[in-house]
Structure 1
Amino acid sequence: MEARGWKIAGIFLYVTLIVVLIAATLLEQVYGTSFVETHIYRSFWFCSLWGTLACVLLRVLGKYRMGMRFSVVWWHGSLLVILGGALLTFLTGEKGYVHLEQGKETNLFVATSDQVSREMPFHIRLDSFRVAYYPGTDAPMDYLSYVTCRVKGEERKEIISMNHILSVDGYRFYQSSFDTDWSGSWLSVNHDSWGIAVTYAGYVCLLFSAVSLLVSRRETFWSLLHHSAWRKAGLICVLWGISLPVLQAQPVRVLARQDAEKLRTRQVIYQDRVVPFNTLARDFTLKLCGSSSYQGLTSEQVVASWLLYPEEWQHEPMFYVKNDNLRQMLHLKSDHVALVDLFDGKSYRLEKVWNEWQRKRQSGLFKGWLEQHQAEKLEKEIRELDEKVGMVLMLKKGTLIRPLPTDGSVEPLSSLRVQAELCYNAIPFSKILFMCNLFLGFVGFFWWLRFYVVAPQGGYRRNWVYVVLKVGLWTSCLIHWGTYLLRWYIGGRIPLGNGPETMLFLAGCLLLGACIWQRRLVLLLPSGLLLSGWVLLVAWLGEKNPQITPLMPVLLSPWLSIHVSLIMISYALFAFICLCSLLALVVRKQVVQMERLTLCCRLLLYPAVLLLGVGIFIGAVWANVSWGSYWTWDPKEVWALITFLVYGAAFHWKSFPLFQRPGVFHLYLILAFSTVLMTYFGVNYVLGGMHSYAG
């Protein structure tokens, strides 16, 4: 009875914690970050909630330690060590900032907790500050503070930059900001010797315990992997989609195609990197028209013609205005308008519309939900149209295209790299793959319904549909990873810096995972096509506004690829789990199929949860290196933690009788996937935060 009481108490605290974290992220949108930090994250009751949950976990581990395997105890013990480190940071750590002026020495920093100056056991002086740019561009690559530290009479020269900290006598300095005239630098200060050391020790233990849980033959994952049900009959499923542009005749004067083709390989500086002219022209036409060509003209012809014949092209109806309200406000007769239609002489008509919309919003005229929704759509449409107009005006003024400087300060691209980028621009890999994958997926899904739901029968492995799906999956995987590596080569860095790029990586993980695991569970063969098709569709929609740009300074870190890769792989596994659970509810009356799908979900939970946990804490290390704090309760961090906690409950299916009922177990996993969607999409596009650059 005592054991049951501890279990009930643990479940209650666990659920309460998840609810509080969800509520905190929502309250932050209403009352602001300072409110939730004061009343929730830094409050006594919130710390007590964590502490009580840790005590219950410690009590359970102590009570059942004899029946638990070493890896399980090690994993949970690592989490307790991490919580202990967080408690030490909360109790003993100090955070603040210091403003260094060039040539002036100081030994004081301002604590963020009470805005009172604290003394440091050494002096620090700013010698100079500068911004490092990407070659030939105005895009910052790094921010560097050159400082001198005087410790016990000895001076030493140091450099502080993004992702490169300075540590002196337990004080850690991070580049935070700088004065606009470059005469001063703002540094974040963190003094947390005990908390960081204990927390990092917990991270190391967590990593090794995760590996142990996956490779030890005594663990549940190993027994699930070699379960006898894998040798029984398997399954199959997945989708389709198509869209083609329609071209029209073009009457305006244009540059001849053969002359425009000569511009394709000319190198220019665009979006803060060196590119062939084809990339700039393709992006310009795609953003303006929604397609990489316009009425049979190549993108090079469009851009060159705008430059050569602007008086004619400004009358060309290239701007699509899809919002009815905006067309009425601009008094437009058609949904396709020309540049001159947006001006009354020198007066910009869109600016008047924007001012009018702002006046109505500030007056509180948009009261109902429907009116607010329509107002938001109108705002988005105005911004998009204004961006297109601005891009054309930049082209006409000559500021959009920047030729390579002739002084040799910028190294041109090699011919191989130019040809690689031209190849990548010419073939819409994401569009082709998402259409093919979805089509094959739907074929496999209806075939599976026919043979395993309507009229179950065996012999699927010799069926031609199985062969087509398998060949299609492997082909798609090879092509996708080939194009992903090509994008890596073109951009000069791993493509994980924004939303579309992370979706491309996620699609690759889904395809590769399906290729590896389809021999164990044939269901994953069409599932990989289906899921990767949807993800590639999202990536393709994001690439309709294409950019392959250098990363912002904070993302120039070796931790980036490790952190994002682990998180994306875990999301891919959670997507597989969700699909398996959906199919399990469909075939719940077929005992063999239900057993295999349940087994698949329980098996995939192990690497999914463990990779998510390790990915979160590697992200914490990255945050500590970049911002001086391994946990800031940013919405993305909080929702990643919520996802970890929600799936962590399913991870303990043996301990909860309710989860041993397959129907309940699969329904829970389907609902749990909503936390993944919220973490990736909801935070990026709704909640915001420091991680919003991924959107």
Structure 2
Amino acid sequence: MNTVIKNVWSFLISMRLMLVLVLLFAVASGVATFIENDHGINTSWALVYSSHWFEAIQVLLGISIIGNIYRYKMYQKKKIPVLIFHVAFLFILVGSGITRYFGYEGVMHIREGAMQNQMISSDAYLQVSAKKDDVEHKLEEVVYISELGGKKFHYSMDIDGKELEVSYKDFIGKAVKTAVDDAGGEPLVSFVISTPQGPDSYFLNGGQFVDAGPLMVYFDKMPINRTPYIRFMHKNNSISFISNVPIQWMRMADRKQKVFQANTEYPLEGGSLYTINGVQLVVKSVLEKGRVKVVDEAESLASGKMKMNTDPLSALIVDVEYDGEHQEVALMGKGKRYKGFAEMFTMGDVELSIEWGSKMLQLPFSLWLRDFVLVKYPGSMSPSSYESHVTLIDEANGVREPRKIYMNNILDYGGFLFFQSSYDKDEQGTILSVNHDPGKWPTYIGYILLGMGFLLTLLSPYSRFGKLARTKYEVTASVPVIAALLMALSYGQPLLAKDTEALIQEVSKINQDHADYYATLLVQARDGRTKPLDTATTNLLNKIAGTSSMFGLNHNQIILGMASRPDAWKELEMIKASHPKLKTLLGMTASQKRFAYVNAFDNHGNYKLASIAEEALRKRPAERGTFEKDVIKVDERVNVAYYVYSGRFMNVFPLEGEMANKWHYPEEALTTFPPKAAAEVRELLRQNAKGLAVGLREGNWDQANAAIDAIKAYQQKYGAAVIPDESITKAELLYNKLQIFERLYPIYLLSGLILLILIFVRIAKPTLNLTKATRIVLVVFVLGFIAHTISLGMRWYISGHAPWSNGYEAMLYISWSIVLAGILFARSSELALATTGLFAGIVLFVAHLSWLDPQITTLVPVLKSYWLTIHVSIITASYGFLGLSTLLGFIVLIFYMMLKDKKKRERISINILEATRISEMSMIVGLFLLTIGNFLGGVWANESWGRYWGWDPKETWALVSILVYVFVVHMRFVPALRSNFLFNAAAVVAYSSIIMTYFGVNYYLSGLHSYASGDPIPVPSWVYYAVSTVIIMIVGASFNRNKLVKITKAK
């Protein structure tokens, strides 16, 4: 028996089982995000997140950690850092368990002037209320149900010695109820009651009733109170009604009307509207023998009985059994986070109410909403912040305190946390997230230990990282990378026609210095940000033509020319188009890259792309081909061009006293401002036009510049409230002029590529000394890194928030972290320097492709937190270190493919060892940063909206990435996986989880962190090429790896 127990224990704590569990955990979590995307959150919770097998994986991982702490003697002094972060994971697991089983959360809705002490739960419950002899018996159980299956249930409750049993029978994801004739059925009335929230449908059999607030509806049941009611009665093979109040009646078909007197019986008619005590009740059908049938929405649509429901309900079908009586009941609802619709009926001597959905939870205190305040960005409808001014009222403890709740500022009282979540559309009510979490502090202790353990591990000479740092091979810092990225970008400039040349010559008379000075005017963007006109003109020209200069003119000259002489500029070929079919439609030749604005319209002024663009936009993204995609892009460019020609981008005129601080373009100002303000604007425009005319005629631009100064003075006079500090404006103009990021990526690429080529040459010629070349490249990198850092700092200063709040900024920061990683490892390996040059250059190049928007924008309220700076900076920096590890792994695979050359085999094998060493060090740092950053994101979430982990797709895939890299760094503990080849192959493949986390979730899954809406965009073709390349590399390298078994054995 002892032997069996010992074997079981050895199996439970074996590294093989741990790695299997890690992979299972990762795969299950990743698959769950796709289940949620396709089938909804209820399905993902029913099948994965709330399942016992998913919990078992986490428990077994905890047991494995405990066992391996003793197995590898982590309690020894030199292993204390490793012990700390492994114990940290145990705290986190315990904390999550406490939260799972003892914590709960929900939502509280309060209107201005109202008091609330209830919240609706996030979890869905099966709620059964059985009332007998004025004694109520209750059953409330959390259930997770989905159309793909889930936890089936069977519950029972004792009612005076008799068992009431409720059990799962079926589930319909998109369900509708309908009344149908049934020869074996019972009398049935189908009706709809109008409420402020919308119409509610009901079906009543004999003995049932509906409580509709100001109205009670009964069927063959005596009223139980004096509330106004309507009572349906079945007798003499017909159904009639009676009410205790007068009823206004109207037949829907012919609009016939009458008034039914109180306490008088009348026949009940279907297709009629009954207005009772102000409540409108529409009787849809009256069946003497019928039944309620719950059907799938698709079935109902196919039969033509109903229209598409934009917000369909689900149906949980349960069997109810009591005292020998059996009944099937359909419970309608949406599951988690939504209250269900109670089904009320009688079985024997018991009145039953059964509901599936979130339940109302009572709080021991109340909140009174005194005021809800929504602040918007100037001139915009976008919210800058919103906050709830509440009074906390706890009568039992004599507490009555005013509090404010807003994003990233919580109310903490009585073990409950309140967070600003959302608000009503009319801005007269607030929606608060409520959280009660006893597992918070064990989890936070785990986070603190995690950070301490990781830091001490990196500093400890006895850790794996410390050992790798001390390891040196025969050829120090000579790991080459064979990764040739040859990009040939050539843009030919077509010859200009004579009339075009004449126009360009005329426009170029507008002095560039004057155009640039004109662009120092401040303009208000659509998102409310006030910025230099120079920034706006750059963005506009890039959108229209895909470049920042044309015809020998800069962006300011072109955009101002388009606005001042639209008729002439509409004749110039400026708008980019690429698809051959689209070029033909627009009258372009195959060699032309751009077309004139006028060519987008036919001789009658009809827009050529109108129907085609509309058709392309109607198609799901996955169905759009290259033609449709280019049509949509060109359609947007044409609209932006019109936006410029009409002058609507020139929002330079504020209006005195305007509450929203909105600025207006000239035409709008002249037509909507009060007469005195409009006259002032008209005079400014006249001075500007006069100055421009003098400049063109005489070449003297002083008067034109003075007109610009006059507009600036007008802006300061009436728009000072939203004008940024002068130093910020100057910084933005300098930032635009320097264009550091655009200039850096070729420097990074070329310097890295040159060093790689030299290292490759040294493989053939070992005597080649690269010390001088390496130092030159290092100096270039350090200077580039300094410029990179300064430019990031400038963007931070200009925007007022950390420069990693969108896709473009994150790419800038990732490339910065890559260069930092290369500089840190430069002394250990030339490979680190060379590969980071390539990788950083590629990332910066990708950042400046057309699909990433480089504009500096305002922040949504939830991102206005110092946690944004901490969480995003750490987690994004990890991508750089993990990316370096991936690129090194790719290089090692190339070296394995080069092992056929026997003369160079020994040198290559040493390079493999050195590359693997740097790769593993970089991966360890990246994994530590990724883990810390992810859990700090949990702290941000918990302090901002009350939930540090909610299985949102983004955070789930971040966890998947952590698990994937945990697997890779632990592979060396399993003999069958302990090889440099497998490690490097895994390093290459593992980065796919990062790509999915960063890009895939944003565009293919729905969630809090995602940009996806509706159907996902199709997978880009380059993904297939990349995957194919990796597979070919791994397969090709595997053929040669056995030739270096002795040299490349695991250290």
- TM-score normalised by structure 2 residue count: 0.61
Partner of 1:181: 426
Equivalent residue number for residue 465 of structure 2: 221
Q: Which residue does 2:510 correspond to in 1?
A: 257
- 1:535 shift after superposition: 0.9
Closer, same or farther: CA 63–240 of 1 in aligned 2, 3 Å: same
Task: Give the corresponding residue for 2:794.
Answer: 486
Q: SS of 1:689's equivalent?
A: coil
Q: What is aligned with 2:640? A: 391
- SS class of match (2:549): coil
Matches within 5 A, 1:620-631: 620-631=938-949
Structure 1 letter corresponding to 2:510: R
Of stretches 148-157 and 21-30 in structure 1, the one that deviates more from structure 2 is 21-30
Partner of 1:73: 83
* Correspondence for 2:530: 274
Aligned pair in 2 of structure 1 residues 124, 256: CA closer, same or farther (>3 Å)? farther
Greater Rg over alpha carbons, structure? 2
d(CA) in 2 for partners of 1:534, 1:233: 23
Deviation at 1:335, TM superposition (A): 6.2
Identify which of 51, 56, 64 aligns with 2:59: 51
Equivalent residue number for residue 558 of structure 2: 302
Counting only pairs closer than 5 Å after superposition, residues 398-477 of structure 1 correspond to structure 2 as 398-403=647-652, 405=654, 406-452=717-763, 454-457=764-767, 459-461=769-771, 464-477=772-785
Distance in 1 between residues matched to 2:53 and 2:9, nearest whole Å: 26
Partner of residue 704, structure 2: none
SS in 2 for 1:218: coil
CA contact 1:247–1:294 (8 Å) conserved in 2 = no
Alpha carbons 2:475, 2:910 under 8 Å: kept: no
Deviation at 1:3, TM superposition (A): 6.2
Q: Is 1:5 the equivalent of 2:316?
A: no
Correspondent of 1:668 among 972, 977, 986: 986
Displacement of 1:378 in angstroms is 4.2
Measured against aligned partners, the alpha-carbon deviations of 1:278-301 in whole angstroms (never above 9, x if no partner) come to 111111111111111232222222
Q: Kindly tell me: are residues 110 and 299 of structure 1, through their superposed partners in 2, closer, same or farther at Cα, counting changes over 3 Å?
A: same
- Measured against aligned partners, the alpha-carbon deviations of 1:49-91 in whole angstroms (never above 9, x if no partner) come to 2223323333333444467622222212211211221122121
State the match for 1:154 in structure 2: 399
1:496 deviates by: 0.6
Question: What residue identity is the alignment partner of 2:942?
Answer: N
Contact 2:477/2:828 (<8 A) preserved: no
Shift in CA distance, 164/325, structure 1 to aligned 2, threshold 3 Å: farther
| 1:549 alignment partner in structure 2 | 857
SS at match of 1:436: helix
Deviates more, 1:612-621 or 1:341-350: 341-350
Change (3 A) 1:127 1:342: farther
Residue 145 of structure 1 and its aligned partner are, at CA, apart by: 1.3
Structure-2 change in CA distance of 1:122 and 1:420 (3 Å)? same
Contact 1:621–1:630 at 8 Å: present in 2 too? yes
C-alpha deviation, 1:455, in angstroms: 3.4
What residue identity is the alignment partner of 1:33?
Answer: I
For residues 301 and 655 of structure 1, what CA distance do their matches in structure 2 show? 65
Query: The residue matched to 1:291 in structure 2 has which SS?
Result: coil
Alignment equivalent of 2:34, drawn from 26, 49, 54: 26
CA deviation string 1:473-507 (max 9, x = no partner): 22221222222222222222221111111111111
Matched residue type, 1:235: V
Distance 1:212 1:12 in 2: 28
Q: Report the residue type matching 1:581 in the other structure.
A: G
| Structure-1 residue corresponding to 2:107 | 97
Distance 1:219 1:302 in 2: 60
1:280 is paired with a residue of what secondary structure? helix
Q: Are the aligned partners of 1:285 and 1:294 in contact in 2 as well (CA < 8 Å)?
A: no
Residues 216 and 273 (structure 1), Cα distance of their counterparts in 2 relative to 1, 3 Å cut: same
2:867 counterpart residue number: 559
Mapped partners of 1:186, 1:100: distance in 2: 7
Question: What displacement does 1:549 show?
Answer: 1.0
Give, in angstroms, the shift of residue 230 of structure 1: 8.4
2:1026 alignment counterpart: none
Give the structure 1 partner of residue 447 of structure 2: 203
How far has the Cα of 1:585 moved from its partner? 3.2
Q: Is the alpha carbon distance of 1:2 and 1:595 closer, same or farther for their aligned partners in structure 2, counting shifts above 3 Å? A: farther
| 8 Å contact from structure 2 (residues 84, 453) kept in 1 | yes
**Aligned residue number for residue 644 of structure 1:** 962
Task: Give the direction of change, closer, same or farther, for the CA distance of 1:492–1:221 in structure 2 (3 Å limit).
Answer: same
Distance 1:327 1:42 in 2: 54
Aligned to 1:176, the other structure's residue is in SS state strand
Partner Cα distance (1:591, 1:602) in 2: 17
592-601 or 118-127: bigger deviation: 592-601
* Structure 1 range deviating more: 51-60 or 104-113: 51-60
Shift of 1:547: 0.7
8 A contact 1:504–1:536 mirrored in 2: yes
Q: For 1:169 and 1:379, how far apart are their aligned partners in 2? A: 57
* Partner Cα separation in structure 2 for residue 256 and residue 145 of structure 1: 56
Measured in 2, the distance between the counterparts of 1:233 and 1:273 equals 49
Per-residue deviation, residues 395-442 of structure 1 (Å, max 9, x unmatched)? 455542222534244253444433332222223322321112212222
Structure ranking higher in helix proportion: 1
Where structure 2 has 5 or more consecutive residues not aligned to the other structure, the ranges are 1-6, 125-357, 655-716, 897-904, 1014-1051
- Structure 2 CA distance for aligned equivalents of residues 140 and 91 of structure 1: 36
State the TM-score, normalizing by the size of structure 1.
0.91
CA–CA distance in 2 between the matches of 1:329 and 1:240? 34
CA distance in 1 between partners of 2:31 and 2:104 (Å): 27
Query: Retained in 2: the 8 A contact 1:321–1:385?
Result: yes
Cα distance between partner residues in 2 of 1:324 and 1:89: 59
SS across alignment from 1:130: strand
**Same amino acid, percent of matched pairs:** 30
Worse-matched range after superposition: 560-569 or 584-593: 584-593
1:240, 1:435 within 8 Å by CA — same for their partners in 2? no
SS of alignment partner, residue 410 of structure 1: helix
> Which residue does 2:577 correspond to in 1?
321
Letter in 1 for 2:989: L
Alpha-carbon deviation of 1:325?
A: 4.7
Question: What SS does the aligned partner of 1:257 have?
Answer: coil
> Any residues of structure 2 matched to 1:331-410 within 5 Å, and which?
336-343=594-601, 348-357=607-616, 361=619, 375-403=624-652, 405=654, 406-410=717-721
Q: Provide the C-alpha distance between the structure 1 equivalents of 2:583 and 2:850, rounded to a whole number of angstroms.
A: 25
Relative to 1, partners in 2 of residues 1:292 and 1:70: Cα closer, same or farther, differing over 3 Å?
same
Partner of residue 121, structure 1: 364
Count of aligned pairs between the two proteins: 681
* SS of alignment partner, residue 229 of structure 1: coil
Q: Deviations over 1:167-186 (max 9, x none)?
A: 22111112122122211111
Structure 1's 377 and 119: CA in aligned 2 closer, same or farther, altered over 3 A?
farther
Q: Deviations over 1:673-694 (max 9, x none)?
A: 2212222222223334322359
SS of 2:550's partner is: coil
CA 1:175–1:349: 2 relative to 1, 3 Å: farther
Whichever residue aligns with residue 111 of structure 2, its letter is E
Output the amino acid matched with 1:225.
A
Give the CA deviation at 1:302: 2.3
CA contact (8 A) 2:477 2:831 kept: no
Spell out, residue by residue over 1:581-631, the C-alpha distance to the aligned partner (whole angstroms, 9 max, x if none).
223334454343222222222322322211111111001111122232111
Q: Distance in 2 between matches of 1:625 and 1:477?
A: 34
Aligned to 1:140: 383
Matched residue of 1:106: which SS? strand
Q: CA deviation at 1:201?
A: 1.6
One-letter amino acid of the structure 2 residue matched with residue 263 of structure 1? Y
User: 1:58 & 1:351 partners in 2: Cα distance?
Assistant: 66
Q: 1:500 & 1:222 partners in 2: Cα distance?
A: 35
The residue that corresponds to 1:368 in the other structure is none
The answer to whether the 8 A contact 2:809-2:854 is kept is: no
| Residue aligning to 1:576 | 884
